[in-house]
A = this chain, B = another copy of it.
Amino acid sequence: MTGSTALLTDHYELTMVQAALASGAAHRRSVFEVFARRLPDGRRYGVVAGTGRLLDALADFRFGEEQIESLRERRVVDEPTLDWLAGYRFSGTITGYAEGEIQFPGSPVLVVEASFAEGVILETIALSILNHDSAIAAAASRMTGAAGERPCIEMGSRRTHEEAAVAAARAAYIAGFSTTSNLAAGQRYGVPTAGTAAHAFTLLHDTERAAFDAQVASLGSDTTLLVDTYDIPEGVRNAVAAAGTGLGAVRIDSGDLVVGAHAVREQLDALGARDTRIVVTSDLDEFAIATLRAAPVDMYGVGTSLVTGSGAPTAGMVYKLVAHEDEHGELIGVAKKSKDKASVAGRKYAMRRMSPDGVAQAEVIGLGERPSNDGDDRPLMVDLVVDGERVYKDDLDTARDRHAASRAQLPPAATQLSRGEPVIPTIYEDHA
């Protein structure tokens, strides 16, 4: 995607800038924080994803002529504000959790320090990206956790917005998925892509055998043949007849997958296709994957439930002003007192408290300064942007490795799929 990201923004961010420019408060040094008040119902942990995409979007967050003209035409803000927007370059500092890191309620996953005006207008784009990508990564992590060593294939593009699909493939890869069906995710982010054929390909040919012959002739015997268009046992016979016992894989997309996988495995073995793998698809989620643990399945293809966050399509993160400078240039903590939505004032720092044998014990959040570290603990916040310059440049594989390592440090209850509390508590340390 090319072009400016500046209008992927809520109207009120710009009217607030207008009013604050007029009052003079726009230039107060401010600290904004992104965090989730809670995890989605019953979830044991969350996952931060989207950080890299957000920094890409920040580089394109420019009000060019086209954007300014649109705002002028629609009378969104006044001319002094348009002038200010035309010159907008983020010159502040952003720290936060590195991509792939595990997060908990209250974790300060992003901290933006800038003038009020420079910081406030990033609210919408920051939340859009982090809320979407983190929701997908959190669901994906539960799925790869349930799948263990078996690869998971992301194939949900058709069930979500066409651009959300690309971001979902990226987030799923960070959380341990092996491949995606989405070609744009391959092109933009280097996520490995895979795929073979749909039922339409079989229906197009005069017989299933003719379709399989055509597929094997073109894609080789290592391909995956979809065997459930008509009748599975007949499909498996046709598949092995077409490709030989060196057939790469068969895919089952319907029926009771546990029963189906056992039957297909037996049939393949009896036909001599002992190395032919079994891919299952069909509305899988983390619970279905867990149920299939004991079945002879080699790969899971996951679509709808991945791209919709498996019941939690948004991560519930908010972007809050937590401090600003006063007339003496001192940072003072601020927080709203709205019912059920009160927030904790002041700049936060975070650390994961670890036992001596490397198991996470608590999410420790220091108010105003870094929490004390007994030596085993792991600091969580890294520099992302310093004085307007992007310094965070981790690639996807680094984020993916980080996710795997961070998840492996959680207590074993983390990967239980039953509903429960966050697997470690969040503790605030107030040094004030």
**Which residues of chain A have a CB within 8 Å of any CB of chain B?**
1-3, 5, 7-16, 18-23, 25, 28, 30, 32, 57, 67, 70-71, 74, 76, 78, 116, 120, 123-125, 127-129, 131-133, 155, 157-167, 180-184, 186-187, 193-206, 210, 213-215, 217-219, 228-231, 253-255, 282, 304, 307-309, 313-314, 319-321, 324, 326, 334-341
Contacts and interface: CB of A to CB of B under 8 A. Distances in A.
Contacts of A21: 218
Given A12-B198, A183-B14, A160 B7 contact: no
A225 to B, nearest CB: 11
A128 B255 contact: no
Interface centre among A128, A214, A319 (most CB of B within 10 A): A128
A123 B158 contact: yes
A215 B19 contact: yes
Given A25-B214, A124-B181, A202-B336, 11 more contacts: A7-B187, A10-B157, A11-B183, A12-B181, A19-B218, A28-B204, A74-B193, A132-B162, A161-B161, A229-B338, A308-B313
A337 to B, nearest CB: 5
B195 A12 contact: yes
A229 B314 CA distance: 24
B203 A157 contact: no
Q: Which of A13, A133, A183 has the most CB of B within 10 A?
A: A183
B182 A127 contact: no
A3 B2 contact: yes
B19 A197 contact: yes
Contacts of A199: 320-321, 336, 338
A211 to B, nearest CB: 8
Nearest to A190: B74
A149 to B, nearest CB: 23
9 contacts: A16-B198, A20-B204, A22-B214, A28-B204, A76-B193, A132-B162, A132-B164, A308-B313, A313-B313
A74 B186 contact: yes
B124 A204 contact: no
Nearest to A5: B162
Nearest to A6: B183
A20 B314 CA distance: 39
A243 to B, nearest CB: 13
B19 A217 contact: yes
Contacts of A193: 11, 74, 76
Contact of A200 (B183, B228, B282, B321): B321
Most buried by B among A8, A320, A335: A8
A129 B165 CA distance: 10
Contacts of A187: 7, 67, 70, 74
A41 to B, nearest CB: 13
Contacts of A341: 253-254, 282
Contact of A23 (B10, B16, B218, B321): B218
Contact of A203 (B12, B155, B336): B336
B324 A314 contact: no
Nearest to A4: B184
A15 to B, nearest CB: 6
A174 to B, nearest CB: 15
A171 to B, nearest CB: 10
Contacts of A186: 7, 11, 70, 74, 76
Given A158-B10, A193-B76, A338 B308 contact: no
Given A2-B2, A18-B219, A193-B76, A164 B164 contact: yes
A19 B197 CA distance: 9
A161 B164 contact: yes
A307 B255 CA distance: 32
Contact of A3 (B1, B14, B200): B1
B10 A181 contact: yes
